[in-house]
Amino acid sequence: METLGFLMDGFGVALQPHNLMFALLGAFLGTLIGALPGLGPANGVAILIPLAFSLGLAPETALIMLTSVYAGAMYGGRISSILLNIPGDEPAMMTCLDGYPMAQKGKAAEALAISAIASFIGSLVATVGLILLAPLLANFALTFGPAEYFALFLLAFATLGGITGKNPIKTVVAACIGLMIATVGIDNTGVQRYTFGVLELYEGVDFIIAIVGLFAISELMFFIEDRAGGGKEKMKVNKLTLTWREIREILPSSLRGGVLGFIAGVLPGAGASLGSFIGYTLEKKVVGKKGYFGKGDPRGVAGPEAGNNGASSGALVPMLTLGVPGSGTTAVLLALLISLNITPGPLMFTQNADIVWGVIAALLIGNFLLLVLNIPLVGIFVKLLSVPPMYLLPIVTMIAFVGIYSISNTTFDLYFMVAFGVGGYILRKLEIPLVPVILGLLLGPEMEKNLRHAMDISDGDWMILWDSGLAIGLWVFAGLGLILPYIIGPLLRRRMQNPIEEGTPGSD
């Protein structure tokens, strides 16, 4: 029951008035970010990081705020899936299948409310899972030596594309680019590497600049290219008439979705898209012929939505306990941790217990806030959908500029950010994922440090890297992470496409 005590302390941190205020602000901003067109969760969190810095927030407050943003963005993303049949991000795809038909039948408000409740339950289930699992995993991770960590980082890269990923070799290329950028600067032995005598490069490349550039600027360029500047037409939402019976009906679906989502989120390489996919297919199987999936069955909204949110909370487990994020957004949260001088990993649970448990408690509180925010305020968020990107994206870019500028008050960083944006655009055009680049930037120094420690221990014998059973296991999984997408990836992708084509009659 040690955990319970820590959790109580965590609530003590999270319930402090100013932390609570920032959690509320974060939840609101997050939903906004999720609802606005062209702003995914990773993107939104990235833009807010420099602002959290320049505000001089205490580490736990900054983390609480951005975790709430993260949770909020997941809520916001479903609004456009249900009303416009446009998933805000990949995991929201499954919500379209029954959410959009519900909206077409004039039950948009019910669909939105059901998805909010399901999201809440999914997150709640997964947060409880996080509370139970994280300390155990952190304890286990304490047995890791440098060789195991090195292998673990490789595993993180290898599984980042997910088993549904298209071309794992591009993940490798992207990871290499990120790791290479991370080697710029003065290393631990005091040698200058790739600085070309430029003073600004001595301390290395600030990953916050890289992240904001890669996400925000490249997003702007994509919108310009697609000429998708116009707004969507306004959506009408009917008055909410949800009965307790209807809520009771979706409860089992939400619980199942949440559990599955959590498992998918914790496992490396599965991620939220798989979480919501499994959530949906399982619902279809369990309910069987009685359901009318694809034609606006509320359970088809609840299952994947709970799965999606469960997975996003589950993804925090490897990030908090091992320091290895499993998704783009958790990678951005990791960037925040590192820049707050908190070393992520198992030691965080002992050294920064107040912060970790504060964040976990904030996740629980944030979910209540989101549920309360979302049902009455859904009208406001719906209106946001019609904000035309041609006004929105330039302003978002400007906020990114301000944020980066306010970190160091130099324009050098701004040029750097634009350069990263152009690079990010080219990579995205070539379908080279950006998240491994960011992960490389973040994990590069740690990876090299662990390699160095391992080699110091073994006196230069490379065999130490696969000397223990645990290390071998990690290497094997990393290898599978790269090979499996070639074998079962196409199969899974096809199956994820199929229900979508069947499920959206009359679209396109």
Partner 1 sequence: MTFNDRIFGVLMIVLAVAYGWGATQFPEPFGGAESVGPDTFPLLLAVVLVLSSLYMIVRPDPDHAWPWSRTGIELIVAVVVLILYALLLQPLGFVISTTLAVGTLCWRMGARPLNAYLTGAVSGVVVYFLFSFALDLALPLGVLSFLEVN
Q: Where does this chain bind partner 1 (CB under 8 A)?
A: 54-55, 166-167, 169-170, 172-173, 176-177, 179-180, 183, 187, 189-191, 193-194, 217, 220-221, 223-225, 227, 229-230, 388-391, 393-395, 397-399, 401-402, 405-406, 411, 414-415, 418, 421-422, 425-426, 429-432, 447-448, 451-452, 455-456, 459-460
Q: Which 8-state DSSP code applies to residue 485?
A: H
Closest CB to partner 1 among residues 116, 217: 217
Closest CB to partner 1 among residues 79, 220: 220
Nearest to 107 by CA among 97, 116, 98: 98
Q: Please report how close the Cβ of residue 278 comes to partner 1 at its closest, in angstroms.
A: 27
Nearest to 277 by CA among 253, 295, 260: 260
- What contacts 78, CB < 8 A, 6 or more positions away? 34, 88, 92, 95, 99, 112, 115, 119, 305, 308
- What contacts 393, CB < 8 A, 6 or more positions away? 38, 219, 220, 223
Nearest to 36 by CA among 477, 395, 498: 395
Closest CB to partner 1 among residues 358, 440: 440
In the chain, the amino acid numbered 452 is R
Residue 7: CB atoms within 10 A of its CB come to 16
* Separation between Cα atoms, residue 198 and residue 186, nearest integer Å: 12
Closest CB to partner 1 among residues 227, 289: 227
Closest CB to partner 1 among residues 365, 417: 417
Element (H, E) at 185: strand 185-186
Q: Please report how close the Cβ of residue 251 comes to partner 1 at its closest, in angstroms.
A: 43
Closest CB to partner 1 among residues 173, 480: 173
Closest CB to partner 1 among residues 320, 427: 427
Closest CB to partner 1 among residues 220, 474: 220
- What contacts 333, CB < 8 A, 6 or more positions away? 45, 63, 66, 67, 70, 316, 319, 325
The residue written with tokens 């297919």 in the block is 281
Closest CB to partner 1 among residues 456, 502: 456
Q: Please return the burial class of 501, using the count of CB atoms within 10 Å of its CB with bins 0-12, 13-18 and 19+.
A: exposed
Mode of pairing for the β-strands spanning 192-193 and 185-186: antiparallel
Q: Please report how close the Cβ of residue 44 comes to partner 1 at its closest, in angstroms.
A: 17
| CA–CA–CA angle 207, 208, 209 (5° rounding) | 90
Q: Please report how close the Cβ of residue 23 comes to partner 1 at its closest, in angstroms.
A: 19
Closest CB to partner 1 among residues 203, 225: 225
Q: Please report how close the Cβ of residue 398 comes to partner 1 at its closest, in angstroms.
A: 5
* Separation between Cα atoms, residue 431 and residue 79, nearest integer Å: 27
DSSP-based three-state secondary structure for 193:
strand
* Separation between Cα atoms, residue 253 and residue 250, nearest integer Å: 5
Closest CB to partner 1 among residues 350, 406: 406
Rounded to the nearest 10°, the torsion over CA 96, 98, 103, 106 is 170
Closest CB to partner 1 among residues 104, 167: 167
What string of DSSP letters covers 284-343? HHHHGGG--TTS--HHHHHHHHHHHHHHHHHTHHHHHHHS--SSHHHHHHHHHHHHTT--
Closest CB to partner 1 among residues 217, 361: 217
The residue written with tokens 């049902």 in the block is 375
* Separation between Cα atoms, residue 128 and residue 411, nearest integer Å: 45
C-beta separation of 69 from 108 below 8 A: no
Q: Please report how close the Cβ of residue 416 comes to partner 1 at its closest, in angstroms.
A: 9
- What contacts 59, CB < 8 A, 6 or more positions away? 340, 341, 342, 352, 355
- The values of phi and psi at residue 186, to 5°, are -85, 125
